[in-house]
Amino acid sequence: MNFVPIDQLKEGMRLDRDVYLYDYKTCKVAMLRSGQVLTSAYIQKLCELQVLGAYIHSDDDQEEQPVHRLPRPRPPIKRTLKQEAVTNLEHVYEMFDKNAQSINISHINQTLDVSKQLVTALKNNKNIELSIFNLKLYDDYTYNHSLGVSILAIAIGISMGMKTRDLYDLGLCALLHDIGKMSIPIEIIAKPARLTPEEFEVVKLHPYKGAEFFLKHQLVSKKICAGILTHHEKFDGSGYPNGLKGDGIPLFGRIIAVADVYDALTSVRPYRKPSSPTEVLEYIMGGSGTAFDVEVVEAFLRKVSPYPVGSCVRLSNGEIAIVVAQNARHPLRPQIRLLSTPDKILDLYNDRNYLSLVIENACNISTEDLDEEPEEEKEQEEKIIK
């Protein structure tokens, strides 16, 4: 059994675990049962409901990618490396949980090795445009979030011209940044509703708890501890735990703050709908100079694209298009090719004729999905969603 991300699911694959589908518009829950063979209609529905992927029978994900599918954004990080990252993070989190009884520096060294591999993978990919679809591979939010933040933080560090050795430390810092949450009662961390002011005061302790643990046992450098301690500080001094301001916040903390917000708000949580990458990018751009460091935001925008070249997008006029080139000045307005008029390229940033046309979302579908569905499949789909 393998977890296959949403953009790699293919018709004919068999589910090896039940998949729950929560429709945020209708508030209905449906389920695809283990053993179900995926059809294009099912895959499209999974995309629409922003399901991250599915566990697939291990023999079914070895097939060749059909040649007629649209080009998809390539994941910059291999699945095996992501699995290695998650395994190591589990060890480090367990170590934190048991405190001094199980301190083992090899877990930290192995996690540092993951950080080095992430840096190498990201540095070797010159045209990297991180797609949020490719970052979210695991259904365990904590480790998935730490890994997502690490990948984004390293990408920002590369964009800022950081030295390789510093990138290794930055990646490790980001992998470990939220470990202090282990000290917070699970009822608060997993509360499916807004926290009370008292509960939020408890949550605000987690940067301090994490930094204190690593400092006390001398497991990582002071620079990494400082990054963990300051990842919730805000550029204008309104953050926590110490209300630091501007350059008074260490660079690692300023970078992880941006990566953390982007990954957290675009993630699926049990109690809220994820914001679209577009909404979060606009939120981060809006917070540049107040919540976030301007230089870090600029570096982030140079590297992170919600609509990588090759991805499929739905426009405000209902048309579907393929992204063919980025606009460095505005990641939300790339050059696109409409499927209805494939010989024409639209520049959403430079061409004034298209100023009113906006990208509503990345739909991540294939040409096959655009064909009329057989009636039988439509009926089946309606059944499972009811």
By C-beta, is 159 or 230 nearer to Fe ion? 230
Q: Which residues pair with 362 in a beta bridge?
A: 313
Residue nearer to Fe ion on the CB measure, 73 or 180: 180
Q: Which of residues 55 and 208 has its CB atom nearest to Fe ion in the complex?
A: 208
Separation of alpha carbons 365 and 44, rounded Å: 7
Q: How far is the CB of 231 from Fe ion (least distance, A)?
A: 6
User: In angstroms, what is the minimal distance from the CB of 145 to Fe ion?
Assistant: 9
CA 171 to chain centre: 15
Nearer to Fe ion, 228 or 322 (CB): 228
Give the Å distances, CA to CA, from 380 to 57, 329, 371: 21, 44, 17
Contact 21, 31 (CB under 8 A): yes
Nearer to Fe ion, 53 or 180 (CB): 180
Residue type, 239: G
**Neighbouring C-beta atoms of residue 146, cutoff 10 Å:** 25
In the complex, what is the shortest distance from the CB of residue 104 to Fe ion, in angstroms, rounded to a whole number? Answer: 24
Tokens of 124: 């070797």
CB of 133 to Fe ion, least distance (A): 24
C-alpha dihedral (190, 196, 197, 200), degrees to nearest 10? 0
Which two three-digit tokens encode residue 136? 């979210």
Pattern 162-181, Fe ion, x by CB under 5 A: ----------------x---
CB of 222 vs Fe ion, minimal distance in Å? 19
Q: Which is nearer to Fe ion, 72 or 209 (CB)?
A: 209
Compute the distance between CA of residue 291 and CA of residue 285 in angstroms, rounded to an integer: 10
Give residues 305-344 in contact with Fe ion (rule: CB under 5 A).
none
**Can residue 60 be called a binding residue for Fe ion (CB under 5 A)?**
no
Site string for Fe ion, 177-206 (x = CB under 5 A): -x----------------------------
Cα–Cα distance for residue pair 45/26, rounded to 1 Å: 14
Residue nearest to Fe ion (CB): 178
CB of 57 to Fe ion, least distance (A): 37
Is residue 273 packed enough to be buried (19+ CB in 10 Å), middle (13-18) or exposed (0-12)? exposed
Can you give the binding site for Fe ion, defined by CB under 5 A? 178
